[in-house]
Chains A and B, each alone.
With several copies, the nearest count.
Chain A
C-alpha cells in the first residue's frame, strides 16, 4: 500500500489536501488554472459580493517581518454578475466560490445567479475582520449565521463551508450556528484584526488603518481553533492560518483538519508551495506508515 493524498471534507472530495485560500490571487480563471496545475487540490475565489467593490485605498498590504502580513484590501471584487461570467469558463478546476454579504438575501441572490456552474462548494465568509456589516460583523451574530446558512442550504445542493474567525463573540457559537444551519464544513480561521503605525510619520500604515494579520504569526492560534472546533463538534474542518510548510500542514491535520488552505506564504514560496507540501505529507505518511489523510485527522486529540 502506498500513501494517498486524497481527502474527503464531508461531501467534498479532493485529490490532495492543499487548497488556495480566499483572497489570494483569486479572480482570474487562468490564474486558478495555473494554481491547480501547480498542485493545489482546490482553489477558493476572492470573496464575491452582490455588487462590485473597489476596496480600500492603499497601502493595502505589507509585511510586518517574520513572514507576517497585514492587509486591508477591503474585499474588492467584481461583483457576482461579472464574476459569473468569469466562472462560466470553468471546465475542470475544483473551485470553491467564496461569498460575502450582510444577510440571507444577499447570499440567496448570489447563489441564484451562480446556478449550474462548475462549483465544488460555497465558502461563506463570516470572518473578514475589517469591513463593516459583512464578514465578522455577520459571524459575530450566531442567529444571523444560522439564518444565512439555512437559507443557502434550502436552495442549493452545492456543499456549504462556513469560514470563521476570531471576532467579538465566541467563535464556537458561530460554528454551532453554522452546523445547525446545515453547513457541511468549517474553514478556520481568517486573519486577525491588527494594525501597524509608522513611527516616522506617526500614522497608521494601512489605508484603512486597521486590517487583518495573516501568515506565520497566527499559526498557533489557528491550530488551537481547529483543535477546539474538532474537540467540540463533529464537522469536517479546513485549517487555515500561517501554514508555510508540510510540517505546518501536518500539524493542522493532527489538530483535526481534513484539508488546509494556503495564503500569504505564497509570497515567499510562490506556487511551488502546493507540491512542496504534498510531497512532504507523502514522505511523512510513508515514514509513519499512514495510508490515508483521514487516518491522521485529529490524532492529537487522543493524547
Chain B
C-alpha cells in the first residue's frame, strides 16, 4: 500500500548499511520505493528521531528500490545523522522540489562537497548520447568522494571526470571555477548543472551566463517545513522548497539575494562575508 502513503508525513525507514565516503562524509542506504524514484535535484526532509529534521538531497543507490543520503558532519544535527548505525530508524518525507532539466548533447556538471549528491542522481538519468564532463571540487585529497561512483554511473557515456582540490593534493590545484572557465572556452555545452557552496555556484553561473550557456543550479536555504508554508527558505520572492530547489542561472543572477545573503534560522538576513 506504499502508494497510499502520505508524502508529507515522516515515513520510518531502517538504515541498512553505511558507506564511509571521507573522514567526514557518510552515505546511509535504506529501502524506499518512493525515494528511489525521485528525480535529480529533489530532496527529502529527514527526521533524526530525538534530534531534528534536515533537508537532504536524495542520493542514488545502485540497488533497486533503495535510496540514500550522503551526509557531511557539520553541526549537532548532521553529526547525529552521521553517527547513526545500521538498523537505526530515520523518518523521510518527500520527495520535494523540482528537478534539473537535462539537455541533450554536451553537458557539464559542477559539484562541490555534498552538492555532488543531486548530480550523482542526475548521472542516473543521462542518456548514452550525452557527452558528460563532471568537475568535483574539494578542499583536499581525502575530502574527494564519488569519483568511482561517477565512473560507474558514466560507464555508457563518453565522459571526463576532473577533480580539483584547493591544496592541490589530488587532481588539479585550485577552484572548480577555474576549470569551468577553461572548459567554456573550448567546449560548447548544451547544459550546465551545478550544486555546492552558493558562491561557487554564483561564480559558475556568471561564467556560463556570460557565454549564454543554459545553466541550472540547485539552491540551499534553511528549510523547516519543505512544503511551502513556513517561509524559512525564502530568497526574495521565491520559496526555495516550492519554486526550486533548481533555478535557471539567468533568473538567479537577477536576484539580489542569491550569492549575496541568506536567512538564518530566525529569518534574519545574513550577508555572505567571503568575496565573490
| Chain A residues close to B by CB (< 8 Å) | 23-28, 30-31, 33-34, 46, 52-55, 57-65, 69, 71, 73, 76-79, 82, 86, 198, 200-201, 203, 205, 207, 263-264, 266-267, 270, 303
Residue from B49, B224, B236 within 8 A of A28 (CB atoms)? B236
Residue from B7, B224, B266 within 8 A of A58 (CB atoms)? B224
The A/B interface has a contact count, at CB < 8 Å, of 137
A and B contact pairs by CB, cutoff 8 A, 23 listed: A23-B230, A25-B229, A25-B239, A27-B234, A28-B231, A28-B236, A28-B237, A52-B267, A55-B265, A59-B45, A64-B9, A69-B229, A71-B225, A76-B267, A78-B268, A79-B266, A201-B91, A203-B50, A263-B229, A264-B229, A266-B229, A267-B8, A270-B228
Shortest CB–CB separation between residue A110 and chain B, in angstroms?
Answer: 15
Interface membership of B269, Cβ < 8 A: yes
Residue from A53, A198, A207, A264 within 8 A of B53 (CB atoms)? A207
Question: Which applies to chain A's interface (DSSP): helix, strand, loop or mixed?
Answer: loop
Neighbouring B residues of A201 by C-beta, 8 Å: 12, 49, 89, 91
Q: Are the CB atoms of B91 and A205 closer together than 8 Å?
A: yes
Q: Are the CB atoms of A53 and B230 closer together than 8 Å?
A: no
Contact A34 B237, CB 8 Å, known A27-B231, A61-B229: yes
Q: Are the CB atoms of B228 and A65 closer together than 8 Å?
A: no
Neighbouring B residues of A63 by C-beta, 8 Å: 6-9
Interface membership of B153, Cβ < 8 A: no
> Number of contacting residues on B, CB 8 A?
40
Neighbouring B residues of A82 by C-beta, 8 Å: 266-269
Interface membership of B47, Cβ < 8 A: yes
How far does the alpha carbon of A65 sit from the alpha carbon of B238 in the complex, in Å? 26
Q: Are the CB atoms of B234 and A200 closer together than 8 Å?
A: no
Shortest CB–CB separation between residue A13 and chain B, in angstroms?
Answer: 26
Shortest CB–CB separation between residue B264 and chain A, in angstroms?
Answer: 8
Interface membership of B242, Cβ < 8 A: yes
Shortest CB–CB separation between residue A47 and chain B, in angstroms?
Answer: 11
Contact A55 B224, CB 8 Å, known A60-B53, A64-B9, A205-B47: yes
Interface membership of B105, Cβ < 8 A: no
Q: Are the CB atoms of A30 and B229 closer together than 8 Å?
A: no
Residue of A nearest to B242 (CB): A270
Q: Are the CB atoms of B266 and A77 closer together than 8 Å?
A: yes
Residue of B nearest to A196 (CB): B9
Q: Are the CB atoms of B267 and A77 closer together than 8 Å?
A: yes
Shortest CB–CB separation between residue A44 and chain B, in angstroms?
Answer: 12
Shortest CB–CB separation between residue A81 and chain B, in angstroms?
Answer: 9
How far does the alpha carbon of A72 sit from the alpha carbon of B25 in the complex, in Å? 30
Interface membership of B51, Cβ < 8 A: yes
Neighbouring A residues of B229 by C-beta, 8 Å: 24-25, 61, 69, 71, 263-264, 266-267
Shortest CB–CB separation between residue A31 and chain B, in angstroms?
Answer: 5
Shortest CB–CB separation between residue A74 and chain B, in angstroms?
Answer: 9
Shortest CB–CB separation between residue A234 and chain B, in angstroms?
Answer: 25
Neighbouring A residues of B209 by C-beta, 8 Å: none
How far does the alpha carbon of A1 sit from the alpha carbon of B118 in the complex, in Å? 48
How far does the alpha carbon of A71 sit from the alpha carbon of B238 in the complex, in Å? 22
Residue of B nearest to A24 (CB): B229
Shortest CB–CB separation between residue A220 and chain B, in angstroms?
Answer: 12
Contact A79 B224, CB 8 Å, known A25-B234, A31-B234: no
